Amino acid sequence: MTKLMLRALAGETLPVPPVWMMRQAGRYLPEYRATRAQAGDFLSLCYTPDLAAEVTLQPIRRYGFDAAILFADILLLPQALGPKLWFETGEGPRMETTTTPAQVAALRPAEAVHETLAPVYETLRILSRELPKETTLIGFAGAPWTVATYMIAGRGKDEQAGAHALKSQDRATFQALIDKITEATILYLSAQIEAGAEVVKLFDSWAGSLHGQDFTDFAVAPAARIIAALKVRHPQVPVIAFPREAGDGYIGFARTTGADCVAVDNSVTPEWAAENVQKDGCVQGNLAPHHLVTGGEDLIRETRRVVQAFRGGPHIFNLGHGITPDASPDNVARMIDAVRGG
């Protein structure tokens, strides 16, 4: 029997949707915090295959999600291109910046990323041996625009200004950076598939700050290029695209990029996404993560509302963004019960 997640991605409308959560391996789980402490720091956890596989498996053991997402980070790829990466406690990621033509030219060749990223492929090999047979293994990468925003600003959060400035002031350098990330991402995701990923997801967390032609050039075009290249090498492997906060940009995104599924955040309603996005195929989403902090009747009602809104077509139940560290593990179990009809 084909896995539930793969059936939804193939376009099947199911009576009960498959369910998983962004950041399902994370700080809200005591077992994650223990393994992270054992690793010492976040990047060591990402680069130690046994421990990265262990934290990937923890939410599968505890909840029986239909999919496991590789434990890694979107910033490992730019790090593998050369710039230094570190995490400031309580503040998030920091990177050596890449903004000049000379710095873009000095990035390593795309093929060189495999050297740094080999432990990630090993994590996937362990997971494809150890996951329950009904669980789908998801690999991922950041989309080029989002990765570029971190490489240019050297940090995250509300820091897309640097990328917008470079795009206006030196389009050629900006485009060269996007092209380099795009090429490396194709190689990275292909290697993840060869190591056992059955689905891959492209996270474009900052797609919402691109508008008009920029959205077409830097959210749609790089995703279309990556997906086309993956489909040549691995035609059977479905791709999920997540152009977060794209708003009207979600409409037609599956058609223009070739994605098998579009993930939607919770700035749009599930009813709107069912009408405007699901008509092109599978949709993933989109419960607001704060319900897992607050729980109660609202959690059950909103979970059922998402399931109900999408029940006329292919759907993967997920959050609109990652689960937060203050979420309650019991609320996650309640959410899953509500999805599965409890």
- Residue number, 75 or 273, with CB nearest to ligand CP3: 75
- Least Cβ distance, residue 91 to ligand CP3 (angstroms): 8
The continuous run of DSSP H or E covering 173 comes out as helix 171-194
CB of 279 to ligand CP3, least distance (A): 26
In our burial notation (b when 16+ CB lie closer than 10 A, e otherwise), range 66-105 reads bbbbbbbbbbbbbbbbbbebeeeeeeebbbeebbeeebbe
| Contact (Cβ atoms closer than 8 angstroms) between residue 70 and residue 102 | no
Q: Annotated catalytic, 217? A: no
Burial 161-196 (b: 16+ CB within 10 A, else e): ebbeebbeebeebbeebbebbbbbbbbbbbbbbebb
Q: Comparing C-alpha atoms, which of 276, 279, 339, 274 is closest to residue 310?
A: 274
Given the residues 36, 225, 244, 334, select the one marked as catalytic.
36
Which tokens sit at 134? 């009904």
Q: Which is nearer to ligand CP3, 125 or 311 (CB)?
A: 125
> Which helix (DSSP H) or strand (DSSP E) does residue 319 occupy?
strand 315-319
Choose between 11 and 132: whose C-beta lies nearer to ligand CP3: 132
In the bound state with ligand CP3, the residue whose beta carbon lies nearer, of 247 and 322, is 322
Among candidate residues 28, 121, 150, 188, the one labeled active-site is 150
Question: What minimum distance in Å lies between the beta carbon of 194 and ligand CP3?
Answer: 19
What's the CA gap between 268 and 145, in Å, rounded? 21
Count other C-beta atoms under 10 Å from residue 57's C-beta: 20
Active-site annotation holds for 32? no
Binding site for ligand CP3 (CB under 6 A): 22-27, 36, 42, 69, 71-75, 92-93, 140, 156, 203, 205, 322
* Nearest CB to ligand CP3, comparing residues 28 and 274: 28
210's tokens: 């691109």
Catalytic residue among 23, 225, 244, 334: 23
Tokens 């909103």, residue located: 302
Contact 241, 250 (CB under 8 A): no
Q: How near is the Cβ of 124 to ligand CP3 at its closest, in Å?
A: 12
Active site residue 23: yes
**150 catalytically annotated:** yes
Tokens standing for 227?
Answer: 């997906």
244 catalytic residue (yes or no): no
Measured from the CB atom, is 274 or 319 closer to ligand CP3?
319
> C-alpha dihedral over 98, 102, 107, 108, to 10 degrees?
-170
Q: Closest residue (Cβ) to ligand CP3?
A: 205
Nearest approach in angstroms of CB 61 to ligand CP3 is 15
Beta strands 85-88 and 92-95 are: antiparallel
Nearer to ligand CP3, 92 or 132 (CB): 92
Min dist. Cβ of residue 231 to ligand CP3 (A): 22
Q: Which of 33, 73, 108, 305 is catalytic?
A: 73
**Minimum Å distance from CB 160 to ligand CP3?**
11
Quick one: CA torsion of 328, 314, 249, 156, rounded to 10 degrees? Answer: 30
Q: How many C-beta atoms lie closer than 10 Å to residue 64's C-beta?
A: 14
Instruction: Tell me which residues are annotated as active site.
Output: 23, 27, 36, 73, 150
